[in-house]
Amino acid sequence: MFSLNEFPLPFNSVALEPYISQETIDFHHGKHLATYIKNLNDLYQGTQYENLPLNDIIIQTAKDDSAKKIFNNAAQVYNHNFFFHCLSNEKFPIPSEITEAFESAENFYSQFKSVATSIFGSGWAWLVQEKDGTLKIISTANADTPIAHNLKPILTIDVWEHSYYLDYQNRRADYIDTVLKNLINWEFVKENLQK
C-alpha cells in the first residue's frame, strides 16, 4: 500500500506564490495526487503487481493491456512526485549541459515551451536523456511517462489543466513560461543529469 506520506511536497505549499498559488498546490498534492494513490491501492491489491516498488509496477503494467488502469494511476503518482521535485522558489543556474545541448538557455526555454503548449488535452512535457546521453524534449499524453519507454526523466512540467487552471485559466503558455523562468529547481535537474 502506498501513502501520501511517502510523497511529501519538497517545499511549503505557499512557497511558489505568486506564480503558483497555495490553493493550486494544496489541491494538486492533497487531492489529485492523493486520489491517484488511493486508486492505485484499490486497483493493484490482489494482482501480481501488489507490493512491487512503484517504478516496477509502471514498467511491468506498461506491457500489460489488461492493467491499463493500474498503469495510469501508478504513472501519475510517479509523474507528480517527480514534478513537485522539479519546482522550487530558490534560484539556481540552469545547468551548462542543457545550455550546451540546446545552444542557449533561451533556445531551451522556447523549445520546451513549444512542446508543452502543443500538447492536445492532458499530458506532460519532459526533458529526457536517452541511453547514449542525448538530451531531448518530448511530451507524453495523459499518464504516460518516460520510464515506460526506457528514457531517463530529467525535468517535467505537468500540463494537465488542474495544474494551472485556478491561477491561469486558459493561459497555458503563460503558466509554462512562468514555471520555466521562475520555479525550476535546477539543482534537482542537475542531480538527475549526473545520475
Interface residues with Mn ion (CB under 5 A)? 158, 160, 163
* Cβ-closest position to Mn ion: 158
Please choose, from the candidates 24, 103, 37, the residue with its C-alpha nearest in 3D space to the C-alpha of residue 70. Answer: 37
Q: DSSP string of 169-180?
A: TT-HHHHHHHHH
Q: Residue 172 and residue 160: Cα distance in Å, rounded?
A: 10
Give whichever of 75 and 98 is closer to Mn ion, judged by the CB atom: 75
Give whichever of 77 and 115 is closer to Mn ion, judged by the CB atom: 77
Q: Residue 12 and residue 5: Cα distance in Å, rounded?
A: 14
Give whichever of 24 and 192 is closer to Mn ion, judged by the CB atom: 24
Q: Residue 178 and residue 195: Cα distance in Å, rounded?
A: 27
Take residue 53 and report the three cell numbers written for it.
516498488
What minimum distance in Å lies between the beta carbon of 36 and Mn ion? 9
What minimum distance in Å lies between the beta carbon of 138 and Mn ion? 18
Who's near 47: CB < 8 A, 6+ residues apart?
67, 70
Give whichever of 91 and 162 is closer to Mn ion, judged by the CB atom: 162
What minimum distance in Å lies between the beta carbon of 110 and Mn ion? 24
Give whichever of 88 and 95 is closer to Mn ion, judged by the CB atom: 88
Q: Let me know: does 157 contact 116? Beta carbons within 8 Å.
A: yes
What minimum distance in Å lies between the beta carbon of 147 and Mn ion? 17
What minimum distance in Å lies between the beta carbon of 66 and Mn ion? 25
